[in-house]
Amino acid sequence: MSTTVSPPAKPRRALPPLMAVTDAAAERLRSLYSKGQQGKLLRIGVGTKGCSGLSYQMNWVESPGPGDETVNDKGVTVLVDRKASLFLIGTVMDYENTTLSSGFTFTNPNEKGRCGCGESFHV
**CA nearest neighbour of 74 among 37, 23, 32:** 23
Cα–Cα distance for residue pair 120/1, rounded to 1 Å = 63
Q: Which residues of 77-100 are buried (b: 16+ CB within 10 A; e: fewer)?
A: ebbbbeebbebbbebbbbbeeeee
Q: Where are the domains of the chain?
A: 19-114
52-80 pLDDT tens trace: 578 889 999 999 998 899 999 999 999 99
Residue 45 φ/ψ region, left for φ over 0, alpha for ψ in the -120 to 50 degree band, beta for the rest:
beta
pTM here is: 0.78
CB-CB contact of 81 with 43 (8 Å): yes
> In this model, does residue 110 exceed pLDDT 90?
no
15-39 pLDDT tens trace: 667 899 999 999 999 999 998 888 8
> In this model, does residue 120 exceed pLDDT 60?
no
- What does CATH list as the number for 19-114? 2.60.300.12
14 falls in which pLDDT band (50, 70, 90)? low
CB-CB contact of 33 with 76 (8 Å): yes
